[in-house]
Amino acid sequence: MADEILSQEDFDAELRQMTSPKMKRVALRYPATQCYRHANNPFWHVWIASYYMLNEEGPVFVVLMHGRDSTTPGSRVYHQDATLLLPCSCGKWQWPTERQLAERRAELARLQTQHAMKVRDLTREHGRSKA
C-alpha cells in the first residue's frame, strides 16, 4: 500500500479473471494501474477500484476511489462511466491520511446521528397526528 496502488501483475491477473469481453475492453482502455481525472470534475485524482456490469447487455461501470487531494478523501463512488475519465498518470494519487479518514468517519457519525434524530422526531409527530 505504498505508492503503487495496483501492480501490473495484479491488474493482469484481474484481467484474466474477467469473463466479459466488453468489460475486458474497458479495462484495457482504462487500466486500474494509473490515476485519472474525471472530465466533469478534474480538480483531483481518482483511482479505479473495480469494474462491474449489472448485466451483459448493459454498460460497464467503474468504482472510483478518492484520494488525499479530494474534498471527500477515502470515499468510493459507484456507477461511474469510465469514458468520462481522463488518463492523468501523474503517479501522485495518494491514499487519504489517517487524519482525513478520522474526519470522514466523524462526519458520517454526525450525519447518522442527525438522521436518527430526524427519524425519532418524525415518528413522534406521526404518533401525535394519530392520537
List residues near Zn ion by CB under 5 A.
35, 45, 88, 90
Least gap, CB of 14 to Zn ion (angstroms): 20
Query: With respect to Zn ion, which residue has the nearer C-beta, 55 or 71?
Result: 71
Four-residue CA torsion sign, 81, 48, 10, 104: negative
Please tell me the total number of residues recorded for the chain in this structure. 131
Least gap, CB of 52 to Zn ion (angstroms): 23
Task: Give ∠ CA 85-91-97 in degrees, rounded to 5.
Answer: 95
Query: With respect to Zn ion, which residue has the nearer C-beta, 36 or 51?
Result: 36
CA distances from 76 to 9, 12, 48, 67, 103 (A): 23, 22, 9, 9, 16
State the residue for C-alpha cell 476511489.
Answer: 65
Least gap, CB of 64 to Zn ion (angstroms): 13
| Neighbour tally for 70: CB within 10 Å | 20
Query: With respect to Zn ion, which residue has the nearer C-beta, 45 or 66?
Result: 45
Query: With respect to Zn ion, which residue has the nearer C-beta, 43 or 130?
Result: 43
Please give the residue whose beta carbon sits closest to Zn ion in the complex: 88
Least gap, CB of 69 to Zn ion (angstroms): 9
